[in-house]
Amino acid sequence: MSGATVSTEVRVRYADTDRMGVAYYANYLVWFEVGRNEFMRAKGLPYIQLEARHIAMPVAEAHCKYLVSARYDDLLTIETRLEEIGYVQVRFSYRVLRGGDDKLLATGLTRHAAVGTDGRPTRIPEEVKKWLTA
């Protein structure tokens, strides 16, 4: 599925780094979440509105390919794109770029399963699909 890319900026905080000033690897997954939430907000469907419809979208799979280290105080752009939306699953892709030189630092994806309040898989409503693909 080709669709719009939503860009979100985050700055690498001191707390995000290790002793060498390099961003800790798990923070990329946090930045993916920031990008995904901003993607949904930009599409007119903040995650909280999805929850109001009694739907949660927990991560079922996550992948990150690290290319170049992010460092303390780098301004990063997280590009988030909806790659696929099915009956019960959604897949997003991500690109992490360093501000200033647009160096590609990492790529990744997350796959999410829609679940109801009982924790069981549920269909993604057509209205939600329309918002996310608009």
Give Cα separations from 3 to 56, 76, 80 (angstroms): 22, 22, 10
Which pLDDT score is estimated for 131?
86
In this structure, are residues 85 and 1 in contact, taking their beta carbons and an 8 Å threshold?
A: yes
Length of the chain: 134
HEC assignment per residue over the chain: CCCCEEEEEEECCHHHECCCCEECCCHHHHHHHHHHHHHHHHCCCCHHHHHHCCCECCEEEEEEEECCCCECCCEEEEEEEEEEECCCEEEEEEEEEECCCCEEEEEEEEEEECECCCCCECCCCHHHHHHHHC
Residue by residue, pLDDT tens for the chain (134 residues) are: 457 899 999 999 999 999 999 999 999 999 999 999 999 999 999 999 999 999 999 999 999 999 999 999 999 999 999 999 999 999 999 999 999 899 999 999 999 999 999 999 999 999 899 988 88
Name every residue whose Cβ is closer than 8 Å to that of residue 21 and which is 6 or more positions away in sequence.
Answer: 71, 72
Domains and CATH numbers, the chain: 5-133 (3.10.129.10)
Given this model, what pLDDT does residue 95 score? 98
pLDDT of residue 2: 53
| pTM score, whole prediction | 0.93
State residue 100's pLDDT score.
87
Residue with tokens 């007119």: 44
pLDDT at 87: 95
